[in-house]
Each structure stands twice: as C-alpha cells, then as structure tokens.
A and B are shown apart, each in its own frame.
Chain A
C-alpha cells in the first residue's frame, strides 16, 4: 500500500487548538482507524511570548517577576529555579529562614497543582463530582497563599538571595489549622479516587510508560516516578530546606495513568509533611530572610527545582552587567508531553484523551518558539508589530468610547 492510500484510510480527529480537553491552545492530530489511534502529531507554538528574549532586557531582580508569569499554575517553580541559578552563579547560600519559607511555598504550590490535576482528570473522564470536589479542596491552599503573600496566584515571594516577604509568626497557627483540615479532605478524596472500581477500570493499564520509555524520552517528575524511575531534584540535588526535613520520594511501578494519579495524590501528603516540619522550624523565631547582593559577576549558573510536573531547569549567563545575556528555560512538560508517542499509539480515542492529560501538560511553560516565514526569512509577529497592533486597537476603542 503506498503512502497516499494509507492516508486516505486514516481519519484525522483533531484535538485542539481549542478543545475542552486542553486548558490552553495546542493541537494534537490523532490519526485514527475507527476508534483506534494509529499516529499522533503534535503542534505547539500558539502561546509563545518570547520570555527568554524578554528576560535579556530586564535586570536581575525584574526577571523573577517575569519568569513567574510563564505559568499561572507553577508560578513559583520558575522563580525558584531562576533564583537557584543566580545564586549558583554568585556562590552564596540563602539564610536559613528564607530556605524554609521557600520550601513551604514550593510545596504549597505542589499541593494545589496536584489537586488541580486530579480535578481536571476527573473532568476529562466525565466525572465532574471529582472535578468539583478536588477544586473545592484546592481552595484552602490558595487561601493560605493569600494569608502569606496577599495573592492567590503569582505570589511574588522569591528574590535572588532570599525571599521577599516573611511568614509572620501569628499566621502560622492559621496555616496549620487549614493544613490539618486539608489533610483529612485529601485523605477522603484519595480514598474515593483510588477505591472507585469504575475509575480503576478506566485508568489501570492505560497509557503505560515503561522505564525504558521514560529514559528514552527523558521524562521527569510524577510521570517518571509513576513508572518506577526514582528521580527527584529535591533529594538528588538538595536545595532550600529539603535536606533539613524528613520526607520520602513516592514511586510506583506500573506507569499507567492510574499510577500517575496515585503518585500525585500520595505526594500531596508528603508536601503537607514537609510544610508542617518547615513551619515547626520557623515558628516563634526571628531571622534574616535575604542575603545582601551588590552585583552579579560575569559567569554562568544553573538552577533546578522539582516543580509539580517535574524538574524545571534554568540556565543564566552574565557578562557582569545588570541583566542576563542569556537565559535558557527548560520546563518539565517539554520532555513529558512527547511521551505520547510511546503511550498513545494503538489506544482508543477515549483513552488517548486521558493519557494526554495524564502527564499533566503545561503548554505555556513549554512554548519556546518564535514564528518565522521560512521563504522570506522574516520574523512574523515581532514585538514592534504587536505593539503597533495593540496601539491601533486602543485607538479604535478610544474612538468608540
């Protein structure tokens, strides 16, 4: 059978660019024979904002705010990794209190991100009760963030050399109370999800990734840990307060979507454990929360952080001026999403939907391309063009008013 005949036999089922399965614009073309998916193509690039380039035009302190805006869900992972990278370049250590606060913020973020995923996974399976319950239980976490930083998302807590705000001692009992309630709620949710026979029938043995797949694709985070690959930056390359507290890395063996859910739900309990220990360590004490930094010398630095979705990597290069000359970001979804090549082919459309969602893809983190016209060798939609368009629109609206 030649190529043309092959293609006529296959039907393309589009998932995206706008689709209820995807929270962000992405395009997956599923080549199907009946309900069976025989090939998947992935197109990204709908969300590119040129963060790395922008970063080169901001000074060191501004970049923390910029990278915080890469993603709304893991909005602390990027500043965390970025600060680690600059501190690596500077060769300084962060004051102890700031390290604990950093870990608290990082783990709270993992909590809310994992709960968000559990909810979305339920929604994609048509199980809206789990969707609403998980998101209801996510709310208190956002409340804690509001107590600590004044914001539910985009906490702006990170600063090169420390943290921007202290956690007030009088807030700690409040945080503990909310965390205590949350633990019971997550226990209930975990029980409901893991003991549901219908959910097990939908998720067990679906989208299996073996250890070899994980190593070949370089997948990270809960996706890798669900397949029995025991990696976690928090333990393997200790930073912040993670070496100072007791916790363990959760791994499972099967690598299917069910195990990914198990890993994420059990990690929530580890996060609560880490947060309570960090709160113990800072409660009733006073201490510095930021080191003094005069200037950034020329050189290179790398920083890593175990984001909720896996290892988030930042590389920066300095020439001694007040801004980075190169800032490279690798978000976890960038390596996690392509595993669909191994897990989706040969499955049905219904399963592919949940497998694609199973890696907890974060597309806006992943977007690292600009659009070029290949023939004219010209960049399309550059900054100037967008500013002009934006001005035009503003003028238009002003006239209408």
Chain B
C-alpha cells in the first residue's frame, strides 16, 4: 500500500465516518425522543449543529494554555480517525499486522486523553472536576475493555491481529455464539458506553451537576471538533466490537454491507437502551462497577475462553 493510498483512506474515513457517525447520533436522538414522547430532530440536525458551531465565535479563556486548548480537540480527532482508518483498511483488504488490535486500543484512549488535556488547559474549576472524573473513568473502563480484546483473541486462536480474528470468525462463526463471547460482548458494550460518555457514564460532562464539565469552556469550531470526534468514535468503537465478536463488517458485497449495518444497529440500539433506562452513576459507583463486577466477569470470561467455552 502506498502512502498516498493510505492518506486517501484516511481522508475517506474522516468524511464517511463523521457523516455516518452524525447519522447514528441522529438515530440516537430520534429514538430517545420517541421513547420520551417527543418528536425529535430531523435527520440533518447534527450536520446543522456542526455547521452552526463552525460559524460561532471561538472563545479562548484568559487563564487557558492556548496551545494545549486548541491542540487537544485536533489530537483527539486525528487519533480517532487513524483508528478508524486502520479498522477500515483491515476490513477492506483483509490485511493486518500481528498486534494491530492493541494499537487500535491505544488509539481509542486518545480521545479521552484529549478531553483531559483540553479540560485541564482551560483552567476552569468545573472542567477540573470533570477531567478528574474522566481520568478515573478512563482508568475504570480500560481494564474491562482489555478483557474484551483478550477473550476474543484467545477464542480465535491466540492472535492479536484483527484480520486473523475476523478470518477465524468467517470460518468458525461469530465468537458471540460462545459463553465467553457473550460475556466479552456485554463488557465491550458497557466499556464503549463509558468511552463514548453516554449515560450512565456521562459524569465527565454531567450537565445537571457540572454544566458541561470538561468541555465547559469550549465553544465554536473547537467544540465542533469534539463533537466530530464523538461522531467518529460512535462508528469506530462499534466497528471494533463487530470485528471482535460479530464476525466483522464485509464491505465487498451488498449483503455483507446490509448485515454489517444490521450488526451496527444492534449495538447502537443497546447503547440507546442503556442510556435511556439509567440515571447517571456517581464516580465511585462507576469504578466499583468497572473494577469490580465487570473486571471479575472479564477474568471469568478469559478463563472460560481458555477452557474452550
């Protein structure tokens, strides 16, 4: 693969993932609205919101570290897009290298880190509380999320290459079909819920308590970039989970695309359901959940996977 090909993929992923991500966010908003007896926004609402944000004045607080304040959202956006590009290239060309799943895992922590960086650069008290929560949350969900990866890796013959995991599933059926697969999938969905900052894990933004928390000082295009990062993450995260547990997303045939979209919608619906049937958890309760129940469940899943269940 030439550098130009990879760069073009990067641009394509940036465009397609952000558009699809915004449509997914619209679906979330629409379904949430219908659940709450509301009408909900039209399909282009998120695009309109983003365009509006680009036209708004970008305020940089006096106390802020200007460079970090501007660099943070850009960093998060680029890292998420790179993760998305790697996933898409693997899905499209079926080529991968031996530890790419670990690389994706690392890249997907960068959006959270960028929120922490940006929040701390803004010098706001509420943002400081928000980032302290985001940090704890990141530490919380990373361990169970690694368990998710490990379970899938063990099930598909001890490989950390996403391509091999997908190929394994194409030959032997989805990993979700096994006991350990179900456990890994549940943990994966909950960890992604935390990564995406959706209720019950939206405590870093916590509108009712912190009025936006870590993002409180962001406005204009910089806030727009954070929203865009969320949109791309909303595609890249579930795609990773689909690759790990649901047999991947084939983009070479129409039936493959349709089943892929259905798999994606399944995960999105799970996100929306969890989001709308739970109140926000406190940070200590969140950590108890992630480090206690989910990590234990993850270890149990790993043992089951080793035993071949």
Contact = CB atoms under 8 A, between A and B. Distances in A.
A201 B281 CA distance: 8
B8 to A, nearest CB: 41
Given A13-B129, A198-B200, A350-B283, A21 B36 contact: no
Interface residues of A, number: 33
Interface string B194-230: 0000011011001111110000000000000000000
A343 B38 CA distance: 36
**Which of B126, B132, B210, B284 gathers most chain A CB within 10 Å?**
B210
A198 B208 contact: no
Nearest to A201: B285
Contacts of B209: 21, 124, 349-350, 353
B37 interface: yes
A186 B308 CA distance: 49
A122 B208 CA distance: 10
Nearest to A130: B279
A20 B129 contact: no
A205 B285 CA distance: 14
Contacts of B206: 126, 350
A13 B125 CA distance: 6
A351 interface: yes
B200 A128 contact: no
Interface in B91-146: 125-126, 128-129, 132-133
Given A126-B206, A129-B36, A202 B129 contact: no
A195 to B, nearest CB: 12
A127 B36 contact: no
B152 to A, nearest CB: 28
Given A198-B278, A202-B281, A125 B208 contact: yes
Interface in A9-64: 11-14, 19-21, 32, 34-35
Interface in B160-209: 199-200, 202-203, 206-209
Interface in B272-287: 276-285
Nearest to A352: B209
Nearest to B37: A136
Interface string A116-146: 0000001111111111110010000000000
A198 B285 CA distance: 10
Contacts, number: 85
Interface string A325-355: 0000000000000000000000011110100
A250 interface: no
B114 to A, nearest CB: 23
B9 interface: no
B282 A202 contact: yes
A127 B278 contact: yes
B276 A128 contact: yes
A66 interface: no
Contact of A124 (B36, B125, B208, B278): B208
Nearest to B36: A132
B32 interface: yes
**Which of B35, B199, B206, B279 gathers most chain A CB within 10 Å?**
B279
Contacts of A202: 279-282, 285
Interface of A is mostly: helix
Contact of B207 (A12, A13, A34, A126): A126
A126 B200 contact: yes
Interface residues of B, number: 31
Contact of A199 (B132, B133, B203, B279): B279
B290 to A, nearest CB: 15
Nearest to B208: A124
Contacts of A13: 125-126, 129
Nearest to A127: B279
Contacts of A199: 279
A144 B11 CA distance: 57
Contacts of B128: 11
Contacts of A125: 208, 279-280
Contact of B125 (A14, A35, A122, A132): A14
A126 B279 contact: yes
Given A34-B132, A199-B279, A132 B37 contact: yes
Interface in B38-80: 38
A126 B125 contact: no
A375 B32 CA distance: 55
B178 to A, nearest CB: 29
Contacts of B279: 122, 125-127, 130, 196, 198-199, 202
Given A34-B132, A202-B282, A127 B37 contact: no
Contacts of A130: 279
A177 B133 CA distance: 48
A35 to B, nearest CB: 7
A70 B125 CA distance: 34
B281 A21 contact: no
Contacts of A351: 282
Closest 9 CB pairs of A and B: A126-B280, A132-B36, A127-B279, A125-B279, A124-B208, A353-B209, A350-B282, A136-B37, A126-B199
5 contacts: A19-B211, A125-B208, A129-B276, A131-B36, A201-B285
Interface of B: 32, 35-38, 125-126, 128-129, 132-133, 199-200, 202-203, 206-211, 276-285
Given A202-B282, A349-B129, A350-B282, 10 more contacts: A11-B128, A20-B207, A126-B206, A126-B280, A132-B37, A133-B37, A348-B282, A348-B283, A350-B203, A351-B282
